[in-house]
Structure 1
Amino acid sequence: MNGTTTAATLAAVREATAVLTGVVERFAETDFTRPSLLPGWTRGHVVTHLARNADALVNLLTWARTGIEHAAYPSRADRDADIADGASRLGQIQREDLIAACDRFMVEATRLGHEDWAARVQHPSGDPIVAARIPQMRLFEVWTHLVDLDADVGFDAVPNGHLDLVLDRALLPHLNRTDGHPLRLTVSLPDGSERSWELAIAPDGGSEVSGPAAAALTWLTGRGKPADLVGPIPDLGPWG
């Protein structure tokens, strides 16, 4: 995680959560039923997903702290049903649910000791991860779905101190791909620095893509191909 400490990542989660709850607290009742940027999902679906994701990560944090297995979700079907059911509730209930779930995540995270963060748990995908990855996972979820709420918050709102963590998480599904030709991605950060990666995701050889961090995040998360990205840009499926 670029040397970022768990405490620093949790501080970033707290900051991002404050932005999220501030946006949702301004929603009128009818705002929850408006379309989000995710096909087939209203804003209520996104808000409920963020609440249930927080609870899923609480399960993993509890697993790390106690050593007793707590799966993130009982099943994918249960997860999807919870989101669909939750999105049908009154907006005020969805808002209170989100705030409570975010609070539960932060409370449980503060209960973990140094050794707990090294414990291995199981990601919902089935892959093993160390618990220290969980705060970064939550940070990515909060910022990505804040954008999906279509409430005038884009990836350009991600603070400089959060960008490396969010970029690293967005890149994760693409780092070990071998199904394409090499593509060099160069991202410009707001402080004037750059980061670059070699990704085997190009349909043709000799590709290079470059642009600002916000545009790169939009593309890497499958949310479109911004005009300020330069180069032959492959299609990437949505995730997160």
Structure 2
Amino acid sequence: MDNASVAEPSRLPGWTRGHVLAHLARNADALVNVLEGRPMYVSGAARDADIERDAPRPLDVQLTDVRESAARFQDAGAAPADWSRTVELRNGVTDAAARVPFRRWVEVELHHVDLGIGYELEDLPAEFVEREIDFLAARFTGHADVPPTRVTDGTRAWSTGREADQPEITVTGPAPDLLGWLAGRRDGSGLRADGGPLPVLPPL
């Protein structure tokens, strides 16, 4: 990337690559807040305003901010703590403190793809792909608008959607395509749905 490409559109609607980099930095600081018992963001409006403020910065400033905020998050994570405690994220969402590092990993990997600079879902570490499919399948489990669905790459399988004794639909495809569909990064055209149409997933 260079200064010109930072101002170009990312793969996220309405965001330039600068917005993505700014979000990555501010998310690291927000997760420090979570680990240290403060609100993740002052407000949704403040979160958005910080990203808009930082998005136009030149590449060297963006990268320095991403690195320094990542170091602050790493320092916060290294501090002695009760990792079994419950922490609060955005919009009242709660999770175990022990899951916060994985949530940060998700931000880094998926937004790296969102930059549109040659890093694709197929380049994601296999361990990450499996864990993120686990996470997203669990997130949609019990969702009234998602039919009972079995998701499989031919080797591993996950269940998601409304609770039922048997799945109504089986979705099959390569793990990166499954992840892309579950994470809203791909339209599912690389997947096969048996038993009905490919489910339309609610936004994350």
Alignment TM-score, normalising by the size of structure 2: 0.89
**Other-structure match for 2:177:** 215
Identity over aligned pairs, percent: 36
Counterparts of residues 1-240 of structure 1 (less than 5 Å):
27-63=1-37, 70-113=38-81, 116-188=82-154, 193-200=155-162, 206-231=168-193, 232-239=197-204
Deviation >3 Å, runs of 4+: none
Secondary structure of 1:125's counterpart equals helix
User: CA-to-partner distance for each residue in 1:145-179, whole Å, 9 max, x for gaps?
Assistant: 11110011111111122222222233343122123
* Structure with the higher helix share, 1 or 2: 1
- Contact preservation (8 Å) 1:209, 1:229: yes
Give 2:63's aligned amino acid.
R
User: CA-to-partner distance for each residue in 1:2-32, whole Å, 9 max, x for gaps?
Assistant: xxxxxxxxxxxxxxxxxxxxxxxxx211121
Give 1:175's aligned amino acid.
T
Q: Report which structure shows greater RCO (CA 8 Å, sep ≥6).
A: 1
Cα distance in structure 1, aligned partners of 2:202 and 2:113: 16
User: What is the CA distance between 1:121 and its match in structure 2?
Assistant: 1.4
- Contact preservation (8 Å) 1:187, 1:196: no
Cα distance in structure 1, aligned partners of 2:98 and 2:184: 26
User: What is the CA distance between 1:196 and its match in structure 2?
Assistant: 2.2
Alignment TM-score, normalising by the size of structure 1: 0.77
State the superposition RMSD in angstroms: 1.8
Distance 1:112 1:170, change over 3 A: farther
User: CA-to-partner distance for each residue in 1:61-109, whole Å, 9 max, x for gaps?
Assistant: 112xxxxxx0110000000000011002222111111111111111111
- Please list every run of 5 or more consecutive structure 2 residues that lacks an aligned counterpart in the other structure: none
Secondary structure of 1:200's counterpart equals coil
Cα distance in structure 1, aligned partners of 2:147 and 2:56: 44
- Contact preservation (8 Å) 1:31, 1:43: yes
Distance 1:145 1:238, change over 3 A: farther
Q: How many pairs align?
A: 198
User: CA-to-partner distance for each residue in 1:35-81, whole Å, 9 max, x for gaps?
Assistant: 10011100000010011111111111112xxxxxx011000000000
